[in-house]
Amino acid sequence: ILNVEQSPQSLHVQEGDSTNFTCSFPSSNFYALHWYRWETAKSPEALFVMTLNGDEKKKGRISATLNTKEGYSYLYIKGSQPEDSATYLCASQAAGNKLTFGGGTRVLVKP
């Protein structure tokens, strides 16, 4: 994988349902994986920064896992609420501080 790829591009979730989506990244020269939450008309805000294989991070109903050997990360939303509607961006950080962003997964939670 040469680029950072996120799938799906968008998804609709019924309120109360749980969901997850994927970020794939180059496993070579890997340093850290970032997740950002971007609400419409606002700026992206950091959710998690993960560095170690097997890392799991949690913030409220949102959690993320990291597999650096195979180059993927999952983001989970448990019991989705309308306020979870946003675009979720992942970014791979190689050595140095440059981030390479994926195209994002746009999540729409329907009441």
Partner 1 sequence: DADVTQTPRNRITKTGKRIMLECSQTKGHDRMYWYRQDPGLGLRLIYYSFDVKDINKGEISDGYSVSRQAQAKFSLSLESAIPNQTALYFCATSGSNAEQYFGPGTRLTVT
Q: What's the closest the beta carbon of residue 105 comes to partner 1, in angstroms? A: 10
Does residue 85 bind partner 1 (CB under 8 A)?
no
* DSSP code per residue over 13-57: EETT--EEEEEE---TTEEEEEEEEE-TTS--EEEEEE-STT-EE
Distance from C-alpha of 102 to C-alpha of 3, rounded to nearest angstrom: 8
For partner 1, the closer CB: 49 or 85: 49
Among 15, 17, 39, 45, binds partner 1 (CB under 8 A): 45
Contact with partner 1 (CB under 8 A) among 49, 67, 81, 108: 49
46 binds partner 1 (CB under 8 A): yes
